[in-house]
Structure 1
Amino acid sequence: MNKGEQTRQMIIEQSAPVFNKKGIAATAMSDIMDVTKLSKGSLYVHFENKDVLAEAVVDHNLEMLQKKVMAAIGRVDHPKDKLFAYIDAFRNPLKPLVEGGCPMLNFGMEADDQNEVVLEKVAALVNKSQQVIIDIIGKGIQQGVFKADWNYKEFATMMFAMIEGGVLISNTTRKIDKMAVINRNLKKMIEAQLK
């Protein structure tokens, strides 16, 4: 990376938690100037406007989330353990994988009515995340680990929705007890499908 690319990357990395916590609309360029210690002119050398920076930051936050979840899944081999690792990655939303909380939830809710580009980025990771669950279960069925008649594509949607819902509940109540209920019940549902 040349110096310009390094500066651009630094701006993205330092801005990422700010955008993830405050949201795109509420984040001002002065907030970015504060965290990066760069002038407005310097920021505009690397990013045409706040929207361009926000899109780069959304990409960065979503990529960080995906990498951390995939790393957790990658530490185990058994399909059941992979599903449990996915669930456990989100067990404490008050200590999120990405600083500021789940970027799918944060940016997805904000972009819902006002930013089609960001909404598409979030939707892509939502779909990809569910596909990861589907792929794990599908492989487990092929290996004879899970019951062949499991409607696992529907389960993947339900599992993903329950986890994201648990994140929302935990963040709004500032308690993780409901996420513990979701965690425990998802694992029971998975164990019920073991051969």
Structure 2
Amino acid sequence: MTTPDFLLEEAALSGGATRVAGVDEVGRGPLAGPVTAAAVVLDPDNIPEGLNDSKKLSAKRRDALAEEILKVADVCIAHASVEEIDEHNILRASHIAMERAVAGLAVAPDHLLIDGNMIPRGLTLKSEAIVKGDAKSLSIAAASIVAKTARDHIMMDLAQQFPGYGWETNAGYPSKSHKAALLELGITPHHRRSFKPIHNMLYQAKN
């Protein structure tokens, strides 16, 4: 199992960059809630131990690492709303969240490492798209951790306002219990109407 390292960042720094940001998003697949992105500029001399792809860490470990990252790195977390997801589409909305995260950093970066195979069109800085970047780059891994913890906390808060959907454990993803709750309790304002299961339910209700 490979763990992320700082080689991509070092290559950019030795190529003349001064501030390299890792960018990642979380929440493309859920039926409910926003899509969340983070941009993180790590201090090369003070990188938290144990950074990894957020999916490979326990929730407790992620929370502890997110706290550490926020203390020692320049971090911005940003979102695109359910309305924006429905208006544009999930891919564009996730890119809007990424663009907002980069724009919100305290000091502008001059090189971006972006998880995935596409560079959002609103990002004009020098950028590299890194497939499975959260398993390769420590900066992207850090971004994946803070984005995931931030979004999970939003879904936990929403779960208290809309109990029964299990968002505190499924984070809005289409788990069996979430889908069963949809049939029983109906659709909330936080459900993505452009997503097929929700769209089909609305269509059936209309007819």
Q: Same fold (TM over 0.5)?
A: no
Structure with the higher strand share, 1 or 2 = 2
TM-score (norm 2): 0.29
Structure having the higher Rg:
1
Return the structure number with greater helix share.
1
Output the TM-score relative to the length of structure 1. 0.31
